[in-house]
A and B are shown apart, each in its own frame.
Chain A
Amino acid sequence: MNDSGCIHLSNFKAAKGANPYKIVHAFFVSCTSYEARRYKATSCLCFACGQTGPRMHSCLHCIYFACYGGHVLDHSKTKKHFLYVDLSYGNIYCAQCQDYIYDREFTDISRTLRMKEAKSLGISVPFTPWLPNANEAMALRRMRKRRLISPHTTIGLRGLQNLGSTCFMNCIVQTLIHTPLLRDYFLGEKHKCKTQGSGKCLVCEVSKLFQEFYSGAKTPLTLHRLLHLIWTHARHLAGYEQQDAHEFFIATLDVLHRHCMNGVEDTEKKENGRCNCIIDQIFTGGLQSDVVCTSCSGVSTTIDPFWDISLDVAGPGSLQACLERFTRAEHLGSAAKIKCSNCRAYRESTKQLTLETLPIVASFHLKRFEHSSQIDRKISTFVSFPAELDMTPFMSTHRRAVDAADNNNAPQGIFEDNRYSLFAVVNHLGSLDAGHYTAYVRQMKGSWFKCDDHMITRASLREVLDSEGYLLFYHKTVLEYECDVS
């Protein structure tokens, strides 16, 4: 990789250093202050034609703005000034090379100033493409072979040894490993851990697991360290006897969430009081609960975070029907009066749950296990679930609009896209007493596999959709950029 500019730029830097570039960038490219923005707004016009473009450049040798429509060239001919800063991105144009050239020192300056700009405007840092540092570039040069994920290879697949009725763990691990955003996070080595190497961090352990899954090895993995870590940090699982995959999933997320904090400085921990660890970024949504007083129609609203949604299975139906029931207003009855802050009295009320914010991964738990004082039973009723799911009807905003019977003014904007696609299904086979868990996972679009402990076999989407379904995992189809303008 060669990003050391050109001979002309090197000569310029030797004579004048990087300061002229810094100044031009800070004032007219990144505009790191209010002052700078004012300068840019009032003075960035081509000195030759007075136009705002096309593509404004600033001379690096003298104070001169020129558009790319010929006037950069004119200036370089008359003045013999050959280096120009493009005012949109801060790249250098060399009129002698007749091309844009890239210098690592200037690129780094540009990135620093962009961060300053974001801070000054109170916005998040804009996207910049990844650049390898010297070590990374060396590694890329030395190891030229690139491992690609394709639907025809086993890369990314791995069987998991059953450690003695640990299929509940294996199916959850398969699900997590095949969660697209988690994969990107871990294969991008984003987890920076303070306790590195201590063997006590579950996030580090999962990070290692990802390396194992993508190593190309074929023998089943033994997750004994993972099990030990989770049991150590989630004592309430009470060990071996309690082997509900759903409970294990929630406990695993909780331990991961707590361990994510290992590598984070205290100051970064919370953004607007919200945890921004990778687990919360992916799995946390907001559940809105509206309690409406039947006397005064006063509404009391609370919003709670959730990691998954547990749905009652009442007769054959569909996931959508379950969600519809889940978000329906429910009369709490005369036995459960709630104090209305408006009436200052205990009143009958209705309660409605809706989804205020959606997580990137929506996890549904079908309550197939019924435990009451009289009877423990498994409900094997067929509940259909779609490969593609639109969550819009279950959103708080949508429900409000429907209730107001005012569909024309539905607040859901054109930018809102709440489509999800299925990427993992955990199934419970057998009875309550003797059962077994397996998981279907999507390795890539249209490529499904059945994970039964150490055995991984190909599966069809039809097979997945026809399975009973205990835990269903959906991934958001379109990811929005964060735009938290404060």
Chain B
Amino acid sequence: MRWIWIDKFVEFESGKRAVSVKNVTLAEEHLHDHFPGFPVMPESLCIEAMAQTAGILVGQARNFEEKVILAKIKKAVFFDFVKPGDTLRLEATIESITAEAASTCGKITCGGSTPSTSSGQAGSPQDEKLIAEIDLMFSHIDKNIAGKEFPEENFVFTDTFKMLIRGIGMENKTK
């Protein structure tokens, strides 16, 4: 993982589901141009945040031994804008996982309370609004692309991402 687009995990059930949080800030430069005077988080980057949340969930399910690559966006439906100052809650669930691939479904919500940030200005669950529903497919590439050789080392789950999974008790399982 060469760049990190989510801030932390708040829930993690190995092989089942994970919830991460991303804080959106006007300090992110792309928001200055997207769009001038009306900053909204690009939907492609909402998908990236979900891909990282779900991708790490899928990777952890096999102890980060597989190279997990986003292979298909099965569904991405958006219901609302994401604006600077929003705290996104990204929930991903594994639907199926096999030797070759995994499929996940997920939703992004905003506002409402996040269990681990009881301080802060999180609202009540009623305030929570649905931002997007995003279903993805991941491929374990070594098991999937016939005849192609990939580098031995796991270039998907590199050192940079270890800090992200620190604190959810998963870092000892990474290679």
Are A and B bound to each other? no
